[in-house]
């Protein structure tokens, strides 16, 4: 002890000069490490790749630009795997479309996490839910959430979705038939002739998907679609407003140092808190109430997979669970924010962009309508799911407009990534694998993969659903034929098998079967479906009511019986199932090389619900309406967490929107009304 006191007696605090010198030396070492040592020793340093990227964001803004062609030029020049740069061109990152590499990264989720920056961005909106969680916490959360998507769970969801779709269709019909009616997504109808109505399809479907997640997540009815002045409508307005593109420097600093915004919140942070705090409070109140109901035996265990909240609470009550195995309160409430964000924006954007594509391609719209009208209006979802042309259209929408154009992973330790396409390094060596260092990032370019002509053929950028039917139904399209460069090019098909994909199918069969070129969501259709056979007679009733405030509200139930379109092709020749075009090489994804929902243990947990929503919405809306784009309107997409449509010149004033013109579909014109050029 004496020796310790003696030693302390000679210790003194450093002088200011010594402290400054020490800090300078430390900074010099750090800078040397970042700007010289790291790049010089980077295992990616000999990979070919584009020059530039010397700015603060390196090549990121080029990669994230949804409308540029530069990345495709890089792919042409450097092949499937190359190096791109992070900040100040000193951070080396891997950019790969190589199926084996992607499969390896996605399936080793214990090595490849989301980067801290991406997690900070996601956490801002989605709190401590599934998307932010990594490692053991992720496994625990995912296991519970997965149960929501059991066969029974999905059936319940399809009923909730159908109800919403019918509500939306009724509202649209009412808007068309009653020009004086207004809604937040169709404020006025001044310039259009009677019988047509301009409706913002993004604003309306995002309300629907918000309502659906309220139901599925916490068994709560928001009804922001029909009751936009009510509590749900107000919550939705705030939720929508927080996604306006207001960023600025405080936002950027806050992404790197989240504590900063606790002192100086950015505009974005204030909008997010204004939207998410009431939602969080609501889910906490419901959580307490639900726990009480469970404790008092008021909720039947059998009905508990109806919503995620109850499922999580009941899971925490499993006998023998250690505290570590239980979900924390912030994980439970965070899950609502996660599902709200991950599940509603993505799906709404897809439905809106899909309807826009159909509006722009009348011949595809007619073909789809012909298929849908050949069935009754009340077709159950498992049969809707079997309709081949609808399936092809939905796949094509998901292929060409994936909600997440890409994602990023960061290696948590040194690793070796296998390749199916050898890469020629700048030093002339040819390698079949890439070494990656702890901390380096890997870009997973979903949209570039989907629009690569080498994978999807010459018409990769064209909206052409018939590629999934092996047909060429649209006269304006050329058949999808890939022109693969010579054998030695980086585009030859994989010579080695892909990584085995861990079977994440649970006992309820909630995940997709692998190895099937056309996996289906629910494989229980026992009724053979002929697309030509009407299944149920459509009905036609109409009722209107006035709201309590005396305003006319679109609350009608109205289902006309249009004459089916004369199909532009023989429906009986339609293949009964879609398939991935044979030219598409094997690759990871929910379907081969189809990465909209990515793959592996972090694959989108809600993709089956997304498919249900998209298909049922298309089914209900395209049967009853003819849709056309607005003249002189340019539509773009912007990307923050997921891509959203907006009209040119209105992003910063209006935010996301996508108005299109709706007309009641009345069937083909009678022959005597048809104009004949010879007359
Ligand atoms: C068209 C609609 C959708 C698309 C394109 C989509 C896409 C994706 C993608 C690409 C990911 C992986 C993100 C990453 O790891 O970087 C993901 C994850 C996720 N998605 Fe979806 N999604 C959709 C709909 C939904 C729906 C409807 C729900 C919920 C009901 C949902 C819930 C989630 C969750 C919770 C995760 C995190 C899974 C995990 O990390 O384990 N998504 N989604």
Q: Which residue has the higher pLDDT, 13 or 164?
A: 164
- Our answer on whether the CB atom of 588 is closer than 6 Å to any ligand 1 atom is no
DSSP sequence for 507-566 = TT--SPPSS-SS--S-----S---TTS--S--------EE-TTS-EE--------PPPP-
Residue 169 Cα, ligand 1 centroid: separation in angstroms? 26
- Our answer on whether the CB atom of 602 is closer than 6 Å to any ligand 1 atom is yes
Give me the mean pLDDT over the 594-605 stretch.
Answer: 96
Summarised one tens digit per residue, pLDDT across range 62-74 is: 998 888 899 999 9
- pLDDT at residue number 484: 27
Angle between helices 388-400 and 346-360 (to 10 degrees): 110
pLDDT band at 395 (very low <50, low <70, confident <90, very high): very high
Residue 610 Cα, ligand 1 centroid: separation in angstroms? 9
Nearest CA to ligand 1 atom 22: 604
Atom index in ligand 1 nearest the CA of residue 133 equals 40
Q: CA-CA distance, 127 to 51, in Å (whole number)?
A: 37
Summarised one tens digit per residue, pLDDT across range 227-240 is: 999 999 999 999 99
pLDDT band at 189 (very low <50, low <70, confident <90, very high): low
Whether 294 and 314 have beta carbons less than 8 Å apart is answered as yes
- Please choose from 346, 504, 640 the residue to mutate so as to test ligand 1's pocket, defined by most ligand atoms within 8 A of CB: 346
Residue 130 Cα, ligand 1 centroid: separation in angstroms? 10
Percent above pLDDT 90 for the chain: 58
CA torsion sign, 262 to 266 to 269 to 271? positive
State the binding site for heme: 604
Atom index in ligand 1 nearest the CA of residue 403 equals 5
DSSP sequence for 593-610 = TB-TT--GGGS-TTHHHH
Contacts within 8 Å (CB) and 24+ apart, 433-436:
434/43, 434/44, 434/47, 434/81, 434/94, 434/96, 434/101, 435/43, 435/44, 436/43, 436/44, 436/94, 436/411
- Our answer on whether the CB atom of 407 is closer than 6 Å to any ligand 1 atom is yes
- At which residue do the structure tokens 């969080």 appear? 280
- pLDDT at residue number 162: 97
- Please choose from 114, 604, 639 the residue to mutate so as to test ligand 1's pocket, defined by most ligand atoms within 8 A of CB: 604
Quick check: 211 pLDDT over 80? yes
- What residues form DSSP beta bridges with 81? 96
- What residues form DSSP beta bridges with 84? 93
- pLDDT at residue number 107: 97
Atom index in ligand 1 nearest the CA of residue 595 equals 10
- pLDDT at residue number 297: 82
Residue 596 Cα, ligand 1 centroid: separation in angstroms? 9
Q: Which residue has the higher pLDDT, 398 or 329?
A: 398
- pLDDT at residue number 634: 94
- Residue 323, in any domain of the structure: yes
Residue 647 makes CB contacts below 8 A (sequence gap 6+) with: 633, 634, 635, 636, 654, 657, 658, 659
* Pick from 152-166, 302-316, 552-566, 619-633: least confident: 552-566
- What residues form DSSP beta bridges with 408? 443
pLDDT band at 161 (very low <50, low <70, confident <90, very high): very high
Chain centroid to Cα 395, Å, comes to 13
pLDDT band at 295 (very low <50, low <70, confident <90, very high): confident
- Our answer on whether the CB atom of 609 is closer than 6 Å to any ligand 1 atom is yes
Nearest CA to ligand 1 atom 20: 604
Q: What does the DSSP 8-state code read for residue 468?
A: G
- Residue 245, in any domain of the structure: yes
Q: Quick check: helix, strand or coil at residue 66?
A: coil
Q: Which residue has the higher pLDDT, 477 or 608?
A: 608
- Our answer on whether the CB atom of 113 is closer than 6 Å to any ligand 1 atom is no
- pLDDT at residue number 533: 26
Give me the mean pLDDT over the 168-188 stretch.
Answer: 92
Give me the mean pLDDT over the 617-623 stretch.
Answer: 98
Summarised one tens digit per residue, pLDDT across range 538-572 is: 222 223 333 333 333 333 333 334 444 555 556 77
Q: CA-CA distance, 133 to 468, in Å (whole number)?
A: 36
pLDDT band at 537 (very low <50, low <70, confident <90, very high): very low
Summarised one tens digit per residue, pLDDT across range 87-112 is: 998 999 999 999 999 999 999 999 99
- At which residue do the structure tokens 């075009």 appear? 581
Give which of 400, 366, 401, 392 is closest to 628, Cα–Cα. Answer: 366
Q: Which residue has the higher pLDDT, 635 or 492?
A: 635
H or E element in which residue 409 lies: strand 407-411
Quick check: 465 pLDDT over 60? yes
Quick check: 134 pLDDT over 80? yes
- Residue 122, in any domain of the structure: no
Nearest CA to ligand 1 atom 16: 407
Return the top range by mean pLDDT from 33-37, 520-524, 602-606. Answer: 602-606
- Residue 44, in any domain of the structure: no
pLDDT band at 26 (very low <50, low <70, confident <90, very high): very high
Residue 143 Cα, ligand 1 centroid: separation in angstroms? 15
Nearest CA to ligand 1 atom 27: 343
Q: Which tokens go with 296?
A: 């008092």
- Our answer on whether the CB atom of 403 is closer than 6 Å to any ligand 1 atom is yes
Atom index in ligand 1 nearest the CA of residue 335 equals 35
- Our answer on whether the CB atom of 346 is closer than 6 Å to any ligand 1 atom is yes
Q: CA-CA distance, 395 to 406, in Å (whole number)?
A: 18
Nearest CA to ligand 1 atom 17: 604
- Residue 39, in any domain of the structure: no
Interface confidence: ipTM more than 0.90? yes
Give me the mean pLDDT over the 403-426 stretch.
Answer: 96
Atom index in ligand 1 nearest the CA of residue 408 equals 16
Residue 95 makes CB contacts below 8 A (sequence gap 6+) with: 49, 63, 74, 81, 82, 83, 84, 442, 443, 445
- pLDDT at residue number 495: 31
Residue 663 Cα, ligand 1 centroid: separation in angstroms? 33
Residue 521 Cα, ligand 1 centroid: separation in angstroms? 16
Using the CB atoms, write b or e for 381-397: b if 16+ within 10 Å.
bbebbbbbbbbbbbbbb
Nearest CA to ligand 1 atom 39: 602
Q: What is the CATH number of the domain that holds 600?
A: 1.10.630.10
Domain count, the chain: 1
Residue 591, classified by CB atoms within 10 Å of its CB into exposed (0-12), middle (13-18) or buried (19+), is buried
Q: CA-CA distance, 48 to 655, in Å (whole number)?
A: 39
- Please choose from 129, 348, 606, 613 the residue to mutate so as to test ligand 1's pocket, defined by most ligand atoms within 8 A of CB: 606
Q: What does the DSSP 8-state code read for residue 35?
A: I
- Our answer on whether the CB atom of 477 is closer than 6 Å to any ligand 1 atom is no
DSSP sequence for 319-350 = TT--GGGSPPHHHHHHHHHHHHIIIIIHHHHH
- pLDDT at residue number 112: 97
- Our answer on whether the CB atom of 131 is closer than 6 Å to any ligand 1 atom is yes
- pLDDT at residue number 659: 96
Q: CA-CA distance, 484 to 469, in Å (whole number)?
A: 21
Q: CA-CA distance, 393 to 397, in Å (whole number)?
A: 6
- Our answer on whether the CB atom of 404 is closer than 6 Å to any ligand 1 atom is yes
Residue 500 Cα, ligand 1 centroid: separation in angstroms? 22
Residue 341 Cα, ligand 1 centroid: separation in angstroms? 9
- What residues form DSSP beta bridges with 430? 424
Angle, CA of 404, 407 and 413, to the nearest 5°: 160
Quick check: 510 pLDDT over 70? no
Q: Quick check: helix, strand or coil at residue 5?
A: helix
Angle between helices 267-295 and 329-340 (to 10 degrees): 120
Residue 456 makes CB contacts below 8 A (sequence gap 6+) with: 399, 450, 467, 480, 482, 581, 583, 584
- Residue 281, in any domain of the structure: yes
- Please choose from 106, 219, 342, 640 the residue to mutate so as to test ligand 1's pocket, defined by most ligand atoms within 8 A of CB: 342
Whether 393 and 611 have beta carbons less than 8 Å apart is answered as no
Give which of 100, 102, 104, 108 is closest to 421, Cα–Cα. Answer: 100
- At which residue do the structure tokens 């002189």 appear? 632
State the binding site: 604
Nearest CA to ligand 1 atom 3: 346
- Our answer on whether the CB atom of 342 is closer than 6 Å to any ligand 1 atom is yes
- pLDDT at residue number 280: 87
Residue 128 Cα, ligand 1 centroid: separation in angstroms? 15
Give me the mean pLDDT over the 209-225 stretch.
Answer: 94
Q: What dihedral do alpha carbons 357, 362, 368, 372 form, nearest 10°?
A: 110
Q: Which tokens go with 518?
A: 């056309």
Q: Which residue has the higher pLDDT, 518 or 13?
A: 13
- Our answer on whether the CB atom of 142 is closer than 6 Å to any ligand 1 atom is yes
Range of the domain at 159: 141-406+452-670
Q: Which residue has the higher pLDDT, 470 or 209?
A: 209
- pLDDT at residue number 8: 63
Q: Which tokens go with 265?
A: 């919140």
Nearest CA to ligand 1 atom 6: 597
Quick check: 628 pLDDT over 80? yes
Residue 620 makes CB contacts below 8 A (sequence gap 6+) with: 162, 165, 166, 168, 169, 377
- Residue 265, in any domain of the structure: yes
CA torsion sign, 488 to 491 to 495 to 496? positive
| Number of Cβ atoms within 10 Å of the Cβ of 288 | 11
Residue 7 Cα, ligand 1 centroid: separation in angstroms? 59
Summarised one tens digit per residue, pLDDT across range 233-286 is: 999 999 998 888 777 888 888 888 888 988 999 988 998 899 989 988 898 899
Atom index in ligand 1 nearest the CA of residue 213 equals 30
Atom index in ligand 1 nearest the CA of residue 404 equals 10
Q: CA-CA distance, 215 to 343, in Å (whole number)?
A: 12
Q: Which residue has the higher pLDDT, 599 or 4?
A: 599
Using the CB atoms, write b or e for 400-413: b if 16+ within 10 Å.
bbbbbbbbbbbbee
Q: CA-CA distance, 44 to 640, in Å (whole number)?
A: 28
Q: Which residue has the higher pLDDT, 557 or 408?
A: 408
- pLDDT at residue number 449: 95
Give me the mean pLDDT over the 456-471 stretch.
Answer: 92
- Residue 186, in any domain of the structure: yes
């Amino acid at each position: 002890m004496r020796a310790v006191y003696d030693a302390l007696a000679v210790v003194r605090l450093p002088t200011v000069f010594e402290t400054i010198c020490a800090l300078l030396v430390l900074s010099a070492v750090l800078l040397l490490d970042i700007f010289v040592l790291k790049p010089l020793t980077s295992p990616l340093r000999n990979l070919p790749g584009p020059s530039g990227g010397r700015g603060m964001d390196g090549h990121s803004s080029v990669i994230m630009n949804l409308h540029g062609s530069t990345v495709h030029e890089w792919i042409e020049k450097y092949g499937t795997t190359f190096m791109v740069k992070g900040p100040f061109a000193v951070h080396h990152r891997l950019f790969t479309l190589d199926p084996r590499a992607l499969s390896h990264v996605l399936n080793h989720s214990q090595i490849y996490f989301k980067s801290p920056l991406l997690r900070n961005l996601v956490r801002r909106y989605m709190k401590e839910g599934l998307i932010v969680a990594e490692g053991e916490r992720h496994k625990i959360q995912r296991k519970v959430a997965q149960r929501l998507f059991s066969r029974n769970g999905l059936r319940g969801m399809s009923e909730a979705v159908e109800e919403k779709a019918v509500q939306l269709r009724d509202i649209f019909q009412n808007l068309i038939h009653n020009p004086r009616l207004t809604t937040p997504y169709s404020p006025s109808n001044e310039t259009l002739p009677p019988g047509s109505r301009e409706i913002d399809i993004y604003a309306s479907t995002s309300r629907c998907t918000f309502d659906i997640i309220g139901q599925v997540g916490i068994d709560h009815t928001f009804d922001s679609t029909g009751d936009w002045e009510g509590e749900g409508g107000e919550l939705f307005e705030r939720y929508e407003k927080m996604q306006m593109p207001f960023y600025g420097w405080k936002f950027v600093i806050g992404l790197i140092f989240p504590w900063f915004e606790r002192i100086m919140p950015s505009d974005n942070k204030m909008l997010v808190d204004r939207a998410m705090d009431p939602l969080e409070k609501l889910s906490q109140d419901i959580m307490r109430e639900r726990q009480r109901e469970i404790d008092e035996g008021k909720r039947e265990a059998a009905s508990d997979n109806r919503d995620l909240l109850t499922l999580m609470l009941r899971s925490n009550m499993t006998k023998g669970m250690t505290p570590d195995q239980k979900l924390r309160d912030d994980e439970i409430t965070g899950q609502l924010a996660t599902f709200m964000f991950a599940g509603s924006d993505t799906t709404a954007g897809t439905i809106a962009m899909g309807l826009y594509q159909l509006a722009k391609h009348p011949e595809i719209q007619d073909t789809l309508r012909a298929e849908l009208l050949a069935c009754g209006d009340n077709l159950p979802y498992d049969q809707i799911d079997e309709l081949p042309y609808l399936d092809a259209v939905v796949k094509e929408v998901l292929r060409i407009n994936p909600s997440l154009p890409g994602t990023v992973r960061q290696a948590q330790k040194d690793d070796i990534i296998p390749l199916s396409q050898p890469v020629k390094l700048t030093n002339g060596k040819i390698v079949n694998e890439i070494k990656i260092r702890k901390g380096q990032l890997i870009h997973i370019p979903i949209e570039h993969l989907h629009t690569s002509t080498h994978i999807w053929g010459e018409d990769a950028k064209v909206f052409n659903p018939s590629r999934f039917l092996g047909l060429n139904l649209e006269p304006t399209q050329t058949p999808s034929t890939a022109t693969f460069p010579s054998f030695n090019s980086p585009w030859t098909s994989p010579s080695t098998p892909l990584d085995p994909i861990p079977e994440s199918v649970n006992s309820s069969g909630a995940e997709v079967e692998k190895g099937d070129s056309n996996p289906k969501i629910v494989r229980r259709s026992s009724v053979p479906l002929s697309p030509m056979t009407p299944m149920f007679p459509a009905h036609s009733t109409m009722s209107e009511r006035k709201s309590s405030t005396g305003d006319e509200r679109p609350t009608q139930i109205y289902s006309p019986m249009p004459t089916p379109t004369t199909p532009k092709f023989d429906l009986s020749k339609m293949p009964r199932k879609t398939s991935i075009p044979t030219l598409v090489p094997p690759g990871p994804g929910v379907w081969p090389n189809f990465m909209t929902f990515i793959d592996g243990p972090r694959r989108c947990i809600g993709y089956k619900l997304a498919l249900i929503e998209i298909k049922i919405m298309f089914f209900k809306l395209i049967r009853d309406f003819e849709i056309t784009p607005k003249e002189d309107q340019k539509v773009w997409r912007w990307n923050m967490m997921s891509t959203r449509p907006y009209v040119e010149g209105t992003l910063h004033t209006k935010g996301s929107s996508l108005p299109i013109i709706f007309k009641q579909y009345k069937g083909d014109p009678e022959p005597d009304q048809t104009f004949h050029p010879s007359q």
